[in-house]
Amino acid sequence: MERLRRTRRFELSPAGFRRLAIAAALALYGVIITGALVRLTASGLGCESWPGCERRNFFPEENFHGAVEFGNRVFSVIPVALAVATGLAARRVRGLPGWATGVAAGVAIGTVGQAPLGLLTIRSGLHPLLVMSHFLLALIVLAGAVVLALAPWRGDRGAAVPAPLPHIGLALAGVTLALVVSGAFATAAGPHPGDSAEIRRIGTLDEAVALHVRVTAAFGLTLAFALVYAARMRSRYPHVFRAGVALLAVVVAQMSVGELQYRLELPWGLVLVHVALAAAVWATTVAFVTLLWRPPPSARIHAA
């Protein structure tokens, strides 16, 4: 009995774990934005050393690019700490599915792994493929944190939304991933290489934008298909439908900014907003697809 009480003292409630996972997701989203700021202000090589900024001084000197790059490193401590805390806490949540513990560990490992990958990216002189890998890994761990934030809410293994909607959701997740990858290629070919020096680029901007537009069209069709099905089931699964509407709103904002930035010849401020909205589209899509596979308990009760 005493051992049982001692064990429960270290347990974390599902609600507490959810708050921790949400905090981790928000921090991971924030570091994507600060990382994009580093690239778009040409501050990718603003620091001469790592983890300190200068060879003889840990902190940056009076240098804008060094301050931006070093600021991103300092901020990254927050998502790393929260991701590791989430990974450790997952083992202390009663009733949390076994797969969620694995996802939490993956989020922690992936977030910590960003540090050596970032160092390798700098050492390579901002090779575009490594820069893209740095960005895409950030999206992967963000997706894991979003799924974890919904895991305690999902409760037991009740009936999921009937087919084919969950499978349409998976297709939507796949085409959304293709969307952000093609967008990363467009950035790799665009006018913001990450530093004022001569940086290797991938392809031409026109080719990359043409690919991105085609993927956007496929994404739009898949999203419309999913939203039609979600609308038909909105009385049974209102939370799922609301998530779909929220996703649509973010997509409309992102497409509007994307069109505007292209017409204005890609000013870095608008590109930063576009990247932030792209990450929001990705995170909202992951949440939408997660709810398609296991809607909230309240939605299932309503359906019953």
- The reply to whether 213 and 281 lie within a common domain is yes
Region 108-123 average pLDDT: 92
Residue showing tokens 């006018």: 191
pLDDT band for 220, please (50, 70, 90 cuts).
Answer: very high
| pLDDT for 298 beyond 80 | no
Greater model confidence, 239 or 248? 248
Number of domains observed in the structure of the chain: 2
- Please indicate, yes or no, whether the overall pTM of this predicted structure exceeds 0.85: yes
Greater model confidence, 257 or 156? 257
- The reply to whether 298 and 166 lie within a common domain is yes
- The reply to whether 92 and 228 lie within a common domain is no
In a domain, 280, yes or no: yes
pLDDT band for 105, please (50, 70, 90 cuts).
Answer: very high
| pLDDT for 2 beyond 60 | no
Q: What percent of the chain has pLDDT over 90?
A: 45
10 Å Cβ neighbour count for 132? 17
pLDDT at 9: 58
- Domain boundary among the residues 155, 178, 199 is at 155
In a domain, 191, yes or no: yes
Region 273-300 average pLDDT: 83
- The reply to whether 68 and 206 lie within a common domain is no
- Domain boundary among the residues 111, 134, 155 is at 155
- The reply to whether 151 and 163 lie within a common domain is no
Q: How far is CA 20 from CA 73, 113, 117, in A?
A: 22, 20, 25
- The reply to whether 43 and 182 lie within a common domain is no
How far apart are the C-alpha atoms of 237 and 218, rounded to whole Å? 26
- Domain boundary among the residues 137, 155, 173 is at 155
- The reply to whether 164 and 303 lie within a common domain is yes
Q: Which of 15-29, 30-44, 153-167 has the lowest mean pLDDT?
A: 153-167
In a domain, 51, yes or no: yes
- The reply to whether 239 and 302 lie within a common domain is yes
In a domain, 34, yes or no: yes
How far apart are the C-alpha atoms of 75 and 161, rounded to whole Å? 39
In a domain, 1, yes or no: no
In a domain, 3, yes or no: no
CA diameter of the chain: 69
In a domain, 111, yes or no: yes
pLDDT at 197: 60
Q: What is the 3-state secondary structure (H, E, C) of 96-155?
A: CCHHHHHHHHHHHHHHHHHHHHHHHHHHCCCCHHHHHHHHHHHHHHHHHHHHHHHHHHHC
Region 187-207 average pLDDT: 71
- The reply to whether 144 and 181 lie within a common domain is no
- The reply to whether 171 and 298 lie within a common domain is yes
pLDDT band for 153, please (50, 70, 90 cuts).
Answer: low
Q: Is 302 exposed, middle or buried (0-12, 13-18, 19+ CB in 10 A)?
A: middle
What is the CA angle 228-253-185, rounded to 5?
A: 95
- The reply to whether 140 and 27 lie within a common domain is yes
Domain that residue 90 falls in:
9-155
| pLDDT for 251 beyond 80 | yes
Region 195-212 average pLDDT: 75
pLDDT band for 132, please (50, 70, 90 cuts).
Answer: confident
- The reply to whether 174 and 252 lie within a common domain is yes
| pLDDT for 300 beyond 50 | no
In a domain, 2, yes or no: no
pLDDT band for 152, please (50, 70, 90 cuts).
Answer: low
pLDDT at 272: 92
